Amino acid sequence: MRVGLLQLNPLVGDLESNLEDTLVAARSAAEAGAELVVGGELGLLGYPPRDLLLREDVVEACESAVARLATDLPEGLAALVGAPRRAGDGTLRNSVALCRGGVVEQWFDKRLLPTYDVFDELRHFAPGDAPFTFEHRGRRVAVLICEDFWRAEDVAFGRGYAEDPIASIHEDGCDLLVVSSASPFVLGKRALHQERLAAVAGQLDADVVSVNQVGGNDDVVFSGGSMVVRADGRIRHRCLDWASDVAVVDLEGDSTCEPCHVEEEEDLFHALRLGLADYCRKTGQRSAAIGLSGGIDSAVVAAVAAAALGPDRVTGLLMPSIHSSESSLVDARELAANLGLAAAREISISDLHAGVRSELEPILGDFGGVADENIQARLRGLLLMGFSNDTGAMVLPTGNKSEMAVGYCTLYGDMCGGVAVIGDVLKTQVYALARWLNRHPERAGFDRAPIPVSSIEKPPSAELRPDQKDSDSLPPYEDLDRIVRLRVEEERSVDSIVRLTGLDHDVVAHWVVQLDRNEYKRHQAAIVLKVSSRTFGRGRPMPLALRWVPPSG
């Protein structure tokens, strides 16, 4: 049997376009000899639909779209397509429809509904109890939907499940297992998926076809990478990463391919690029504006934006203050030239800063410190947002995960913007990504190394007071990032972090407290593109009024 893998990039709610894309892909697969085609989870509506499912006409429109698709499929082609449906008892199900012979012949309902991280499926769906299998072309085909297969074994903080759909399929037997997924990208997840697919294929002694959504929807990114794994654990075929792809695979053939091994920085870059590109495309944003400081963070964000949108749609604003060094301006100009940005405009904030000080000094006296530093950051945010309002360019904040964790960022200042491109990227990862971009510019679509060497090598500084360095306020980023990773991504205790890192107890305790205290800033932050197992945003809903003191003894 020949199976078509429809790895598509849906726009949530755009039923007409999603239906048309599915039909075009199905017809293409049929022309290549496919007898069965498989799409991703909720592919006709797009994943994740979230509370769009609560609107009274959405589910009915999806069911109607499935019926239309069934009648428009090429003759002799069967299709498994994802859509929500209303079951006979009135509950909503996350389902896959078997379309065959011009009708919707059967529904398969998702059984395991995740409620961890960015998922909240029990909010909308009831678990299914429909059969797992159907017969097609002399084969017994089993159907699972995403979590039914992965069972949270590929993530941190996943819930355990009493039910194991794979065990039930093993007991009943099948010749082919089909998995319809919308599994968000997380660094390191690719290898876990390949291992689990091989293990289950061996357990069932059957081919496994796994079709995953691709593209960005809001804060989550899907990498694609759909594949067919043989019963012996070898990969028959692997679809493209980071792009839509339609593939037809002969399950009787002997072809195999090697497991995919990619540098972490390359995966990180493509996840950020696709996440930003799709957010802009799907929300109608055509251009971006970035404050260029000459530092590493703004350099990496600008490089991602240039790759995602095209350099002609990205404007850099250089906004020096009385504390800005000439070398930083040189680095920012060099970056803009390397990337070929639409423009690199310079607007000094020195006079604005002096004007604000003159208005506040009668009240505050000759003030300084954080208040004065934040005024400068907010003046830059003001200029960026003014540029945005007039030109329509979306502002991209340039803060990283390390800074957001401990509040080393300014509300209504450097946090202004629509999408926090590196808000889930630790500072040490930012440096690693910059070095990767300079080593392999062609893999990112650049004709030369984009990041100025000085931006990588100089000590990081906000340049908001004379001779300022990040190290004046923060521990070395190597140490801070270990604390942040263990606390945020693993929710480790202070004692556990000390034991695992060897860092001073008081240092760890101080920054853990700072992390909790700055939750209010993150609640007001731009959307953060998720690339790690635990990300600031909807997947980590922490209380703001919080004082957690571990029990003694």
- Whether the CB-CB separation of 117 and 534 falls below 8 Å is answered with yes
Give the CA-trace dihedral at 60, 61, 67, 70, to 10 degrees: -140
Q: Pick the closest to residue 204 from 178, 170, 171 (CA basis).
A: 170
Q: Pick the closest to residue 450 from 274, 306, 272 (CA basis).
A: 306
Report d(CA 365, CA 494) in Å as an integer. 40
Active-site choice (110, 189, 282, 521): 110
What are the residues facing 203 on neighbouring strands? Answer: none
* β-strands 227-229, 235-238 pairing: antiparallel
Q: End-to-end alpha-carbon separation of the chain, Å?
A: 63
pLDDT of residue 156: 64
Domain coordinates in residue numbering, the chain = 2-261, 267-469
* β-strands 139-145, 2-7 pairing: unpaired
Report d(CA 526, CA 173) in Å as an integer. 48
DSSP annotation string for 96-165: EEEEETTEEEEEEE------STT--GGGT-PPP-S-SEEEETTEEEEEEETHHHHTTTTSTTPPP-S--H
- Whether the CB-CB separation of 278 and 9 falls below 8 Å is answered with yes
Instruction: Give the pair of three-digit tokens for residue 206.
Output: 């059957």
Across the beta sheet with 133-136, the strand order is 133-136, 139-145, 176-181, 207-212, 227-229, 235-238
Based on the residue annotation, tell me whether 41 is a catalytic residue of this protein. Answer: yes
- Whether the CB-CB separation of 83 and 66 falls below 8 Å is answered with yes
Domains 2-261 and 267-469 are alike in CATH topology:
no
pLDDT of residue 336: 98
Active-site choice (35, 41, 147, 403): 41
Residues 6+ apart with CB under 8 A from 276: 216, 304, 305, 308, 309, 396, 419, 421, 529
DSSP annotation string for 335-388: HHHHHT-SEEEE---HHHHHHHHHHHHHHH-S--HHHHHHHHHHHHHHHHHHHH
Q: Could you tell me which CATH number the domain at 267-469 has? A: 3.40.50.620
Q: What is the mean pLDDT of each run of 10 residues along the chain (553 residues)?
A: 98 98 98 98 98 96 98 97 97 98 97 95 94 94 97 73 93 95 95 94 97 98 97 96 98 88 95 98 98 97 98 98 94 98 96 97 94 96 98 98 97 97 98 98 97 96 87 94 96 96 97 95 96 93 86 61
Report d(CA 51, CA 341) in Å as an integer. 38
Phi/psi of residue 428, nearest 5 degrees: -65, -30
Q: Could you tell me which CATH number the domain at 2-261 has? A: 3.60.110.10
Task: Note the maximum CA span of the chain.
Answer: 86
Specify the 3-state DSSP secondary structure of 250. Answer: strand
Report d(CA 274, CA 276) in Å as an integer. 5
* β-strands 527-528, 419-420 pairing: parallel
What are the residues facing 501 on neighbouring strands? Answer: none
pLDDT of residue 422: 98
Based on the residue annotation, tell me whether 146 is a catalytic residue of this protein. Answer: yes
CA-atom Rg of the chain in angstroms: 25
Based on the residue annotation, tell me whether 359 is a catalytic residue of this protein. Answer: no
Query: Which phi-psi region, left, alpha or beta, contains residue 218 (left: φ > 0; alpha: ψ -120 to 50)?
Result: left
Q: Pick the closest to residue 262 from 242, 279, 235 (CA basis).
A: 242
Cα three-residue angle 250-254-260, rounded to 5 degrees: 90
Helix or strand run (H / E) with residue 519: helix 519-523
Active-site choice (62, 99, 146, 409): 146
Q: Prior bond to 48 cis, omega within 30?
A: yes
**Strand blocks (E) in 251-365:** 288-291, 314-318, 343-346
CA distances from 270 to 201, 215, 453 (A): 29, 11, 22
